[in-house]
Amino acid sequence: MQTTPEQKPRGEILLRTLAMPADTNGNGDIFGGWIMSQLDLAGAIVAQEITGSRVVTVSVSNITFKAPVSVGDIVCCYGECTRIGNTSLSIALEVWIKNRAKVGMNQHYLACDALFNYVAIDDNGKPHHISK
């Protein structure tokens, strides 16, 4: 799958990692659960920076896997905050892939997107107000 030149990642780069053989499913592609965990890590980084506290993931909305990811691909997670409530916030996330065979060609494609929702918690694990 190839994106058009006008397609760009949404938000800022939050996380980059390499897809490894241990992360594959039965078909030899990278397991969707592993991709989801990378998104959760990336989203939590943004949520913690905004809230200044611990956060917990409360839901994932509209996760869509658009293209497979292969061993050796560079997995790039991008995102931005789309909503801040009293105790919760939403982070729109995307996974863009730099194919291992085309790394030097600066080509990438959108493999997955989702909306992650987090709640700010205090040291006792109770939700707390987010200062805006």
Per residue in 5-45, pLDDT (tens digit) is: 568 999 999 999 999 999 999 999 999 999 999 999 999 99
Judge contact between 69 and 19, C-beta under 8 A. yes
Band of pLDDT at residue 131, cut at 50, 70 and 90: confident
Torsion angle (degrees, nearest 10) of CA 11, 113, 42, 30: -140
Q: What is the DSSP code (8-state) at residue 127? A: B
At 56 the pLDDT is: 98
CATH code at 12-121: 3.10.129.10
First to last CA, the chain: 39
Contact 67, 3 (CB under 8 A): no
User: Where along the chain do its domains lie?
Assistant: 12-121
Which string of DSSP letters, residue by residue, matches 27-78? TSSBPHHHHHHHHHHHHHHHHHHHHSSEEEEEEEEEEEE-S---TTPEEEEE
Query: Biggest alpha carbon distance in the chain?
Result: 49
**What confidence tens digit (pLDDT) does each residue in 58-107 have?**
999 999 999 999 999 999 999 999 999 999 999 999 999 998 766 566 67
Instruction: Locate 118 and state its tokens.
Output: 């987090």
